[in-house]
Structures are given as C-alpha cells and as structure tokens.
Amino acid sequence: MRVSRLRELKPTILKIGGSVITDKDKELEVRMQTINRLAEEIREASVQNLIIVHGGGSFGHPLAQRYAITEGFKEQTQKAGFSETHHVMTVLNGLFMDALIWRNIPAVSITPSSCIITKNGRIQRFEDAPLKMLLKMGFFPVLYGDAVLDSKLGFTILSGDQLVSMLATKLNAERIVIGVDVDGLYDDDPRVKKTAKMFKHLTLEELKRLESKLGKPTTCDVTGGMFGKIVELLPAIEQGIPVTIVNATKPNYIYKVIKGKKVKGTIIEKE
C-alpha cells in the first residue's frame, strides 16, 4: 500500500519542445496537426501522474527577443513587449489545452507567471499548492515557458526546461521525457552536420565530459539550444531521475515512451 501510494506521487514529466508544436521559422505559426496527434497519443497512452510542460517556439521566442525580455526591465517600451510575450504564450497554451480537453483528457493549465517569481532568471518562489492538488486529484497539470516577474530584473523569460528541472527535483519525478524535433542527443548539431553521431545512453559523468561538444541552436531560441536544455536537467539527473530524449515529431514516439516502451532516443541516467 505504502509503495503504491509513493509511486502514485512520483509523476512523469513530459516536455514538448516549442520546435515540435510550432514552426520556428515563421512567427506565431502553430503546428495544430502535431498538437492534435500528440494529444491523441497522450490520451491513448492512458497513463497517470503526468505533468506536461511545453515550450514557446515561434510564439514566445521572437517577441521575447525583439523586446529583450530575458535581459530584464530597462525601459518603458519593453512593457508592451512583456504583456505581448506573456499573452502569445497563453494563446499557444490555449491551443494545446483545446486539443487535450476535446479528447476528455483531465488537463488543467497552470500559468507560470501567476505563481512563480524568479531572481536573476532562476526560480525563487513557486506557489505549488494548486499543482500538488491537481496531481493528487488525478488531473494533468500543463505548464509552459513564460514571461515572468523577476525580483532583481523586473521581468525575464522562464524556460520550459528550467520548469521541468525544478518540477522534477521538487516532486522527485519518476522520470523526465523530453520531446524534441531530432532523434536524440548528438555529438554535434544533426540538422547541420551529417556526420553527427547520436548517443543511445549516457551517464552523468559521460555527459559532463561532453558538455563542450553539444549542439548549438540553429534558429532563434532565447533559452538556448540542446546544450542549455541538458544543462538545466543536470540537477534532476544528479538526483537519480532518468531523462529520455525522443523525437516528438515522429508519430507514436511519445505514446511509446510514456507507456514505458523502447523507442529510438537518448537515455541519460546518473550511473
């Protein structure tokens, strides 16, 4: 009984990259078909204790960059930019929620900027009571990268990746699944270099040795590319939470991985 209750409280954290659900080459371009397919896969997997976090892609990033939101509040003209960046993220989240809720998935969005304050870009306060209650009641909380208030900078951008890492360590997650637009973690950027080699399995130690070689982003991403994503996850991996990186643009990969089935991808474990 105790074991099953403990397991119940250990959620899977599923990150869906902004490059998966939006077209990063065009501003405010949602990939609605992909969102619907992913929602269908999540419904079919019929798992419990799932937290979903999605990125901003071509909704949040171009605006955040145009108004230098990450750098903080320096001039009045940025205020409209902060409002707009947060607003477009709620729009993208709304489209994602639509797809989940139409399929009767008990998903409830949590707005990061309404319950999180950062300090120099790092999460400082997080009112987690709604999230914990949602999980306990069997809902799937859905969060996203957002423009948030920052006690030092005024405001900044909170990446979905930092959110994933914080939630995983705080809730001692069962595992983290990172859905991206490539097959896994490579020793170079696979979208640029054809000779890039994918890692099937990495330990924390191997990962740290590879840090300098990881792929760099090819398009606009204020929160960094694959390198930044993995670095964010180090505290979770250190805590013993395994990370699986898979290609979420390929049908059934997310379905299989959240069902616990084997798919092509990169697994990163502490040891």
Whole-number Å distance between alpha carbons of 224 and 102: 33
Chain centroid offset of residue 168 CA? 11
Among 105, 123, 167, 178, binds its own copies (CB under 8 A): 105
Q: What are phi and psi of 203, to 5 degrees?
A: -95, 165
Residue 150 or residue 232: which is nearer to its own copies going by CB? 150
Give the H or E element holding residue 89: helix 77-102
The interface region with its own copies, picked from 14-22, 60-68, 92-100, 180-188 by CB under 8 A, is: 92-100
16 with 56: CB under 8 angstroms?
no
Q: Cβ of 71: how many Cβ atoms within 10 Å? A: 16
How far CA 210 is from CA of 36, 185, 205, 224, in Å, comes to 35, 11, 9, 17
The CB-of-269 to its own copies minimum distance in angstroms stands at 33
Chain centroid offset of residue 50 CA? 13
Q: What is the DSSP pairing of strand 122-126 with strand 116-119? A: antiparallel
Among 139, 144, 253, 255, binds its own copies (CB under 8 A): 139
125 near its own copies (CB under 8 A)? yes
The interface region with its own copies, picked from 63-71, 146-154, 167-175, 231-239 by CB under 8 A, is: 146-154
265 with 183: CB under 8 angstroms?
yes
Whole-number Å distance between alpha carbons of 178 and 161: 9
Among 14, 38, 45, 134, binds its own copies (CB under 8 A): 134
9 near its own copies (CB under 8 A)? no
Q: Using CB under 8 A, which residues numbered 234 to 253 contact its own copies?
A: none
178 with 15: CB under 8 angstroms?
yes
Among 20, 51, 63, 110, binds its own copies (CB under 8 A): 110
196 with 215: CB under 8 angstroms?
yes
Residue 113 or residue 249: which is nearer to its own copies going by CB? 113
189 near its own copies (CB under 8 A)? no
* String of contacts with its own copies for each residue 51-90, x by CB under 8 A: ----------------------x-----xx-xxx-xx--x
32 near its own copies (CB under 8 A)? no
Residue 102 or residue 211: which is nearer to its own copies going by CB? 102
The CB-of-122 to its own copies minimum distance in angstroms stands at 15
154 near its own copies (CB under 8 A)? yes
Q: Which conformational region is residue 104 in: left (phi greater than 0), alpha (psi within -120 to 50 degrees), or beta?
A: left
The interface region with its own copies, picked from 100-108, 174-182, 198-206, 254-262 by CB under 8 A, is: 100-108
Binding site for its own copies (CB under 8 A): 73, 79-80, 82-84, 86-87, 90-91, 93-94, 97-98, 101, 104-111, 113-117, 125, 127, 129-130, 133-134, 137-139, 148-149, 151, 154-155
